[in-house]
Chain A
Amino acid sequence: MLIIAPFLVPLLTALLSYFVKKRYVAVVNIVGGLLFLVAAMLLLSRVLSEGPQSIAMGNWPWHVAIAFIADPMSAMLVLLIALVANASIIFQLNWYEKKHQATLYPLVQGLIASSVALSLSADLFNLYVWFELMLMSVLGLILLGGGRQHTEAAFKYFSISMLGTLLMLTAIGLIQGATGHLNFSALREIAQQPDMSEPLTLFSGLLFAALLLKLGAFPLFSWIPAAYHTLSAPLLALVGGLLTKISVYVMLRLSGQILDGSALHLAIGWLAVITMISGVLGAAYHWDLRRILAFHIISQVGFMLLGIALASPAGDTGTVVFLFHNILVKANLFLIAGLAWWSLGHYDLRRIGGLFKANPWLSAAFLISAMSLVGVPPSSGFWGKFLLLQETFVQKHYIWGGLALLTGLLTLYSMSKIWLECFWKPLPANNVVKPIPWPLMTTILMMTAVIILFGLFPEPLISTLQTHADFWRIK
């Protein structure tokens, strides 16, 4: 029961916040968010003390049941989702433009529930269903904006993601046809039989193509910069922090641990490198805070893909450490960008400035998060990048490692661009700085504190992952 609580709570909150009176919506969402956080913590402590937990729905035998599994890796991911979700809900409740659409909070909670379920699911078809729920929630959130740009963004997002969904559905059908199973553990056993390797490589290639599309890899990432900036900052933090990372997590699980992706690792590695370079170059071109950060999502997804391509326990550990750090830092940076908009009235770096003088605490929070994103030691981003690059060089992929280092340098360039233009530059004439309400500032400081702690004490996390990251890996 504990294992499905982290996504049952958001689903119930979604239902309640649609049906209760408008003045209770805030209470319902805060209570729901806290309950979700508690459930995630309980699940993690249970998993760490008693080992992986699993549940098979409807008491079916394990191999045919719709199953959910929580190992240390996914339980930690659920806890991170809970942190980001709570920060985003607090922001949304205090946000400048109080949205009164009845569907706003149900969609937010639907997005949270589907991300949790995706990280716990151990069934291929179930995965597809949760991906659909996630897609619909994000599209709904984009469309709530109501403007012409929102409809367009949703259309672009929809048409590309829908293609990925159809590819995924076809791949799932073919895998089911070849093996007769959808359950992860059953598939994992079958994938190790030598006579299954040929059809499974082909069909899982199709599945990975769909996942690469969903996580924003090189040729098909255009939906990220087309749509993300049309969301308001609290939603952007949730979507930008979680969406692509959850897909990366699913890919990590499937490519090395359930199905055998070894035939594709070289291709994924090159795609990863091209993804990180193209993302960071897009970020270097843009001046809008939201678009810079949206392009950085692509480049960081490239880093995680590099770890997947390395296909070793050390690569998995590096990928997961980097993924965890990235969820926190990315969400925090989007929230800080939202506060910059709150106090200065614009997202474009050419029109704003002077935030360092006006709000040193916010500036410190940005500096710490930005340095973590770049990977300056001893920030949280350093550890993930260090583990990944170490493994890249151990495996003698010198070109990949060199390009990854170059990407880090270019990330530093666009982060210092934000720092110089938004914080350091004097306030442009005729601009006034609006004060930031304390709940928002407190949220930012708490998120930043978590990021600092992550950077200073990574050892418990890394050692837990080193023992458990290859829990599933095909030997």
Chain B
Amino acid sequence: MNLVLMVTISGLVSLGVLLLLSRDAFRLVMGLTVLGTAANLVLFFSGRPGSLTAPIIAADASSLTAGAASPLPQALVLTAIVIGFSLLCFALLLTLRLSQQQSHMDVSRYHSSEPLNGNGGDLYQPPILEDK
């Protein structure tokens, strides 16, 4: 169980980092999503994975039976999945907007919020940002 988890999580992390290092905006977003899945898995299995005892406190006891599954990570990961899902929707819309406004998806050539130079190519003079 632990080996499978380890291989899955590390595989997802390496795939995510690989995609994250890409210059393509869409792949970058996909990389973040894959990394997010890996983070969720870490969160999910941070409790006591593998326990088959339900996390229910018996009527005459005041704490969980020893070795019972921890209910907290499930609640946490559910929240994290919901947040991650909405962030993914937002990121996809943002990328769509980006692709509509730009002629390319190469993130290293996005300079309209930070122009490199505005004064006839003089690198020693910062550009003048037009503001309406």
Contact = CB atoms under 8 A, between A and B. Distances in A.
Interface of A: 64, 125, 128-129, 132, 136, 139, 143, 148-156, 158-159, 162-163, 165-166, 169-170, 172-174, 176-177, 180, 182, 225-227, 229-230, 285-288, 291, 341, 346-348, 350-351
B94 A173 contact: no
Nearest to B76: A125
Contact of B73 (A128, A139, A173): A173
Given A162-B87, A230-B113, 16 more contacts: A136-B87, A139-B90, A151-B97, A156-B110, A158-B90, A163-B20, A165-B87, A169-B39, A173-B39, A173-B44, A182-B72, A226-B113, A229-B129, A287-B128, A288-B129, A348-B129
A451 B91 CA distance: 40
Contact of A176 (B29, B76, B91): B76
26 contacts: A64-B72, A132-B83, A132-B87, A136-B90, A149-B113, A153-B113, A155-B25, A155-B107, A156-B110, A159-B29, A159-B32, A162-B36, A172-B76, A173-B42, A173-B73, A173-B76, A176-B47, A176-B72, A176-B76, A182-B72, A229-B129, A285-B126, A288-B128, A347-B131, A348-B128, A351-B128
Contacts of A156: 110, 113
A347 B20 CA distance: 35
A257 to B, nearest CB: 23
Given A152-B110, A170-B42, A159 B28 contact: yes
B2 to A, nearest CB: 13
Contact of B32 (A125, A162, A287, A347): A162
Contacts of A154: 94
A348 B118 CA distance: 12
Contacts of A153: 113
Contacts of A346: 131
A350 B90 CA distance: 38
Contacts of B35: 163, 166
The main secondary structure of chain B at its interface with chain A is: helix
**Chain B contact residues (Cβ within 8 angstroms of A): what range?**
35 or more
A169 B131 contact: no
Contacts of A348: 128-129
A341 B113 contact: no
B72 A148 contact: no
Nearest to A167: B39
B43 interface: yes
B114 interface: yes
B94 A225 contact: no
Given A125-B76, A166-B36, A226-B114, A177 B90 contact: no
Contacts of A341: 131
B9 to A, nearest CB: 10
List 10 A-B pairs, minimum CB-CB distance, nearest first.
Answer: A177-B46, A173-B43, A149-B113, A153-B113, A173-B46, A152-B113, A169-B39, A173-B42, A149-B112, A170-B39
A139 to B, nearest CB: 7
Given A148-B102, A166-B39, A173-B43, A350 B110 contact: no
A148 B101 contact: yes
A166 B32 contact: yes
Interface string B83-106: 100010011001101100110000
Interface string B62-74: 0000000010110
Contacts of B113: 149-150, 152-153, 156, 226-227, 229-230
A129 B101 contact: no
A129 B43 contact: no
Contacts of A125: 76, 79
Given A148-B112, A166-B36, A176-B72, A129 B79 contact: yes
B47 A177 contact: yes
Contacts of A148: 101-102, 112
A397 to B, nearest CB: 33
Given A139-B90, A166-B32, A151 B43 contact: no
Interface string B21-44: 000010011001001101110111
B46 A286 contact: no
B15 interface: no
B90 to A, nearest CB: 7
B68 to A, nearest CB: 12
Contact of B91 (A162, A163, A166, A177): A162
A163 B131 contact: no
A150 B32 CA distance: 21
A346 B128 CA distance: 10
Contacts of A291: 126, 129
Contacts of A143: 94
Nearest to B124: A285
A229 B113 CA distance: 8
